[in-house]
Amino acid sequence: MNYHIAVDIGASSGRLVLGTLADGSLSLEEIHRFSNGFTERDGSCFWDIDYLFDEILLGLQKVKSSGITKCTLGIDTWAVDYVLLDAEGNRMQEVYAYRDRRTDGVMEEVAKLISPETVYAKTGIQQLTFNTLYQLYAHSREELAAADQILLVPDYLYYRLCGRKINEVTNASTTQLLNLAEREFDADLLALLHLQRDQFAVLTEPGEVLGTISDTLMEQYDLPECELICAATHDTASAVLGVPVQNGRSSAYISSGTWSLLGVELKQPVNTPAAKEANYTNEWGAFGTYRFLKNIMGLWLIQEVRRLDGERYSFGELAELAGAAEGFRSLIPCNDPRFLNPDNMIEEIRQACAGSGQPVPESPGELARCIFDSLALSYRSYLAELEHLTGRPVEVLQIVGGGANNALLCQLTADIIGREVLAGPVESTALGNLAVQMIQTGTVANIQEARTIIGKSFKIKSYLPRPLPQLKELLVRWEELHTVAAAGD
Ligand code: LFR
């Protein structure tokens, strides 16, 4: 029996998941789960990276005490955030969280030095204030100059485990520093940041074996023997690998978690002026693919409402309350930058509604309903744009990730896009992480086979569109709001 462990850490939680393949069916067991989140100190936002690393070790100890002595392991996390190492290989400082406000206005400043059109033609990456390009530009020049190595978060976690320094490609592409044509760091963009190529590590593809856990850690902790395999370390890259195969029907996906990433997998990037205008991204995928997608604000909106409401209700309860609330009463343009990291999300949503002359959502149910209605409408707008940019009509939308559990949002999405929604698997990110390990170890031949197995092993729920009598009028209202916000998109 081959045991594979996926370490999957998102912005709000992390887990170690054990995957086992038996009789052509893949099963998952969550071995360890822990919370995650950034904390604000003196006006800056940081992740607690040592805590995350300790949780990985704790999870591995649990793996061992469950009787597993030998396994493979892959790591994925959110993207764009980086760790600076000094010449001794020690972390130089705390790790900024991408919602930190030091990048406010930086995109505009950089645009004066190099045109966004040029950056897009080179990288194919959408303009997001928190791209590593902008984060590094906002970083102290002296500190950057003193950095021997710049690793992204999962690169750093691998490094702590085995001592090898890499920059894994699916995640490295989100830095907005990789040149699509050269498949390397772009010299002009590095020069703009006053960085040398050797401050980054070797670009590494998913599937490469990185080594084993260091002797020091093995001596210190009771850990299983682990072969470290380079996963598609960007969680969204792994999530897309974990989308079940669709036979004969053209589909798009939404990886639905803290963000809703809506897109398609392509063999070639689309870095045309039209794609730039619409701000779609071409993140690098595993196996030579591209994730042509759009970041939509996603479940962060409801996560923040829940947090500020003192976590009185679970996500399931909030969805129930939203189901009981009046639909389409108040809408928000989800991608307006005002929702990226407001001081108080509840107040921000209320002000947005009041400011656009709509009723103000008061109760948690009303707030949740406003969020879900608005997300479903955003999906419709961005799906239409995606079809236009790729020239490929989409028959079915596959929602994977935690959001696939939200029956109300899935049904609203089906109703509003007027197409079937297939929801699940919820654990697509861990599955995509495991898929790379299974392919590397020869348990599974290729990604098509892995996706077929995933489709057969997990329950996928179908939501068929129901007629919405008020749709026409609703879309007129939505277009007005959405178009205004899209200017800042
Ligand atoms: C999702 C995700 C997105 C990325 C954002 C920031 O978890 O990785 O793909 O744009 O987080 O890293």
- Judge if the beta carbon of residue 240 lies within 6 A of ligand 1: no
Residue 346, pLDDT score: 98
Residue 489, pLDDT score: 66
pLDDT in tens, 49-77: 999 999 999 999 999 999 999 999 999 99
ipTM: 0.99
The rounded Å distance from CA 161 to ligand 1 centre is 23
* Block residue for tokens 């102290």: 140
Indicate which atom in ligand 1 lies nearest the CA of residue 174. Answer: 10
The rounded Å distance from CA 472 to ligand 1 centre is 33
Q: Can you give the three-state secondary structure of 206-256, one letter per residue?
A: CCCEEEECCHHHHHHCCCCEEEEECCCCEHHHHHHHCCCCCCCCCEEEEEE
Known binding residues for ATP are 11-15, 258, 303, 402
Residue 418, pLDDT score: 98
Amino acid type, 100: D
Amino acid type, 175: T
- Furthest C-alpha separation in the chain: 66
Indicate which atom in ligand 1 lies nearest the CA of residue 130. Answer: 6
DSSP string, 279-347: T-EEEE-GGG-EEEEEEE-TTHHHHHHHHHTTT-S-HHHHHHHHHHSPTTSS---TT-GGGSS-S-HHH
Cβ 324 vs Cβ 361: under 8 Å: no
pLDDT in tens, 328-339: 999 999 999 999
Residue 349, pLDDT score: 98
- Judge if the beta carbon of residue 345 lies within 6 A of ligand 1: no
Which residues of the chain are under the pLDDT cut of 50?
none
Residue 247, pLDDT score: 83
